[in-house]
């Protein structure tokens, strides 16, 4: 597939990966009609009904056609379980297979980036690019954008009463309420936002790539398996890729940009001979440039489902029969409305696990159903659940090429829950969530606890439950981190250290993982990087105020003091 009959074998820019970052770059770089851009994607079309219909979100991420079905090595602190790690393999990348949850992260997450050597990536520097990217359904202000490509709203506006019950319960438990966790104040309970526009998944393929594909200076090639970056001495000069059994080489006059994601980008660097010497030699890859941080510092979010029976027949468990699904699908096809037009995560919460934690490290997604995220099993009866995770992990993992063959998936090891802080965070998740769900707001709805179950109370019982039940939230990141020290892979201009004309722009360059879902900050990174690449200069830093609990050292929530973090 190509958007152009242009048969160039040389382009100004070559972008690898048409995902959350690559689609943004393809759009922004081709705004300049004087440059030619080639966008390479291993997957194919995103036109599938299962991608475009928000409620069908569990299907594309579990379909080989649309997603790399990666698996980790046995995780030593999760009872040696192999964890599922799907990544987008389709136009739009992971923005075409994800849950469409729109969370920027806390302001302090980006200040943390700057403190880790990512100069110019503080919240004040990043906020203008969050605003540039989006059109917020309720209008723009100092925090929200009103003219960007990315449509953001609240789905069905919390029509199910369970959504509001969750928000009310959080407030009854002593936490803040927040009207807009992507605005002035993240901490608290309130409506959740999603990348849906006019009832349709608003991926970066829909928001950014499709408009750019009308331009004659963009060529999109799908079903392209990239083998390596072509290097001459320490200069990136092009890409070798395979399509339909034919191996081709294309040259870049200006730059090669890797936007293959937190698994794909470090793997491609290693396949190209850029990475830790021992890893490359073990894989049989000739070392072109030793860069020890490539594939290291890997981070992810974990979560589990806290499930309860529901005393009223108002949950999505009553909509899982084929007849009800057919009606939902038919209405969506007719007018893009109803239950087909939402991801069903319409209320949420961000809280701090204990006093002494400055900004939220726990995140809630509320779902008016009791079922697995992948849709494979559901509670037999009416139920609801809240997804809860500790979002500022200390554990670190790695990505390592197994061989020089680009068809061989890399080894992936997150070392989930290796650090005691992470294990303590999940103990807090269990105890704090029970307290919230047992508030009076849930009295009309709350039945028996399904999971973890009343028998899970002590630290040892909670730890055992978490090891067996926790799942990835599908947020791999930080494996080519930005900074200036010896283990940084790219500099604050997104350029690979020691290699000219080569950049990485995607979630792999995050220095640390933000408190929230990663699609929004990935898009922001690409927006900011596009200005850097084009030499336009960054947008002026924002002076918008960040809402914080001034008493965070003394208390865990707005209403009561708690123990201090160690």
Q: pLDDT tens digit string along 350-397?
A: 999 999 999 999 999 999 999 876 555 667 899 999 999 999 999 999
Q: Does 37 show up as a binding residue in the annotation? A: yes
CB 381 within 8 A of CB 355: no
Q: What stretch of H or E contains 189?
A: strand 188-191
Residue 220 annotated in ligand binding: no
Count CB-CB contacts under 10 A for residue 253: 14
146 is in an annotated binding site: no
Nearest to 480 by CA among 323, 319, 295: 295
Q: Is 217 annotated for ligand binding?
A: no
Decide: pTM greater than 0.85: yes
Among residues 535, 529, 550, which one has the least CA distance to residue 22? 529
Whether residues 175 and 256 share a domain: the answer is no
Query: With contact defined as beta carbons under 8 Å apart, do 269 and 239 qualify?
Result: no
Q: Label residue 258 exposed, middle or buried (CB < 10 Å: 0-12, 13-18, 19+).
A: buried
Residue closest to 505 by CA, chosen among 531, 467, 542: 531
Annotated ligand binding at 142? The verdict is no
116 and 160 housed in the same domain: no
User: Is residue 556 in some structural domain?
Assistant: no
The answer to whether residue 412 sits within a structural domain is: no
**Full residue range of the structural domain in which residue 137 is found:** 1-153+194-298+476-542
- Are 455 and 516 in a shared domain? no
283: in domain = yes
Per-residue pLDDT at 373:
61
224 neighbors 206 (Cβ within 8 angstroms): no
Does residue 316 have a known ligand-binding role? no
Residue 124's pLDDT is 98
d(CA 89, CA 65): 7
In this structure, are 436 and 384 located in the same domain?
Answer: yes
- Determine the pLDDT at residue 376: 58
Same domain, 502 and 449: no
Which pLDDT value is given to residue 379?
Answer: 75
Which residues are marked as active site? 475
- Determine the pLDDT at residue 6: 38
Ligand-binding site membership of 15 (annotated)? yes
User: Do 223 and 288 belong together in one domain?
Assistant: yes
196 is in an annotated binding site: no
Q: Is 271 annotated as a binding residue?
A: no
Shared domain for 493 and 363, answered yes or no, is no
356 is in an annotated binding site: no
Sequential DSSP letters for 220-272:
EE-S-EEEEEEEETTEEEEEEEEETTEEEEEEEEEEEEE-SHHHHHHHHHHHT
Nearest to 96 by CA among 189, 10, 208: 208
CATH number assigned to the domain comprising residue 227: 3.50.50.60
Total domain count for the chain?
A: 2
Is there a single domain that holds both residue 164 and residue 201? no
Same domain, 497 and 376: no
Euclidean distance between CA atoms 383 and 77, whole angstroms: 30
Positions of the chain with pLDDT under 70: 1-8, 373-378, 560-566
8: Cβ contacts below 8 Å, ≥ 6 apart: 36, 38, 219
**47 annotated ligand binder:** no
In a domain, 451, yes or no: yes
Contact call for residues 187 and 103 (beta carbons, < 8 A): no
The 3-class SS string of 395-427 reads CCEEEECCCCCCCCCCEEECCCCCCHHHHHHHH
269 is in an annotated binding site: no
Q: Is 559 among the domain residues?
A: no
For residue 399, tell me if it sits in a domain.
no
Q: Is 14 annotated as a binding residue?
A: yes
Q: What pLDDT shows up at residue 1?
A: 36
Residue 30 assigned as binding residue: yes
Q: Which of 434, 469, 504 is the last residue of a domain?
A: 469
Contacts (Cβ under 8 Å, ≥6 apart) of 142:
542, 544
325: domain CATH number is 3.30.410.40
Give backbone dihedrals phi and psi of 278, rounded to 5 degrees, phi first: -65, -40
Residues 483, 504 within the same domain:
yes
Q: Are residues 310 and 353 in the same domain?
A: yes
Within-domain flag for 106: yes
- Residue 561 belongs to a domain: no
| Pair (219, 186) in one structural domain | no
């Amino acid at each position: 597939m190509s958007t152009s009959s242009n048969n160039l074998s040389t382009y100004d820019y070559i972008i690898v990966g048409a995902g959350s970052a690559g689609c943004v770059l393809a759009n922004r770089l081709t705004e300049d009609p004087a440059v030619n851009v080639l966008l390479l994607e291993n997957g194919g079309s995103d036109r599938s009904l299962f991608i475009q219909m928000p409620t069908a979100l569990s299907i594309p991420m579990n379909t080989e056609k649309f997603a790399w079905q990666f698996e980790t090595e046995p995780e030593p602190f999760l009872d040696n379980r192999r964890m599922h790690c799907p990544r987008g393999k389709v136009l739009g990348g992971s923005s075409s297979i994800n849950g469409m949850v729109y969370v920027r992260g806390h302001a302090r997450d980006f200040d943390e980036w700057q403190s880790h050597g990512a100069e110019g990536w503080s919240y004040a520097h990043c906020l203008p690019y969050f605003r540039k990217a989006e059109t917020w359904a309720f209008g723009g202000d100092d925090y929200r954008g009103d003219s960007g490509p990315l449509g953001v709203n609240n789905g069905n506006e919390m029509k199910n009463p369970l959504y509001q019950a969750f928000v009310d319960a959080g407030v009854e438990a002593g936490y803040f309420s927040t009207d807009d966790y992507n605005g002035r104040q993240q901490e608290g309970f309130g409506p959740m936002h999603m990348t849906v526009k006019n009832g349709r998944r608003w991926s970066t393929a829909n928001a950014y790539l499709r408009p750019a594909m009308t331009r004659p200076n963009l060529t999109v090639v799908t079903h392209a398996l990239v083998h390596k970056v072509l290097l001459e001495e320490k200069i990136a000069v092009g890409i070798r890729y395979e399509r339909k059994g034919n191996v081709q080489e294309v040259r870049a006059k200006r730059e090669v940009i890797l936007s293959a994601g937190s698994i794909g980008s470090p793997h491609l660097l290693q396949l190209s001979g850029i990475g830790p010497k021992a890893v490359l030699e073990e894989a049989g890859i000739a070392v072109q440039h030793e860069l020890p941080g490539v594939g290291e510092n890997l981070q992810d979010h974990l979560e589990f489902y806290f499930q309860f029976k529901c005393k009223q027949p108002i949950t999505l468990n009553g909509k899982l029969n084929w007849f009800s699904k057919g009606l939902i699908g038919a209405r969506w096809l007719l007018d893009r409305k109803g239950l087909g037009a939402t991801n069903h995560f319409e209320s949420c919460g961000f809280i701090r696990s204990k006093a002494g934690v400055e900004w939220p490290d726990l995140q809630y997604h509320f779902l008016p159903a009791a079922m697995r995220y992948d849709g494979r099993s559901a509670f037999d009866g009416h139920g609801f659940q809240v997804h809860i995770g500790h979002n500022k992990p200390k554990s670190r993992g790695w990505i390592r090429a197994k061989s020089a063959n680009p068809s061989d998936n890399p080894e992936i090891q997150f070392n989930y829950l290796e650090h005691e802080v992470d294990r303590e965070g999940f103990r807090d998740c269990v105890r704090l969530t029970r307290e919230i769900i047992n508030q009076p707001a849930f009295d009309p709805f709350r039945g028996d606890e399904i999971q973890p179950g009343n028998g899970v109370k002590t630290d040892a019982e909670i730890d055992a439950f978490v090891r067996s039940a926790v799942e990835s939230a599908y947020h791999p990141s930080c494996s080519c981190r930005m900074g200036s020290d010896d283990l940084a892979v790219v500099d604050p201009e997104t350029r690979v250290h020691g290699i000219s004309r080569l950049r990485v722009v995607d979630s792999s360059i995050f220095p640390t993982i933000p408190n929230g879902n990663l699609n929004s900050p990935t898009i922001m990174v690409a927006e900011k990087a596009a200005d850097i690449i084009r030499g336009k200069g960054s947008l002026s830093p924002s002076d918008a105020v960040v809402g914080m609990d001034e008493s965070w050292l003394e208390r865990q929530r707005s209403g009561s003091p708690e123990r201090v973090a160690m």
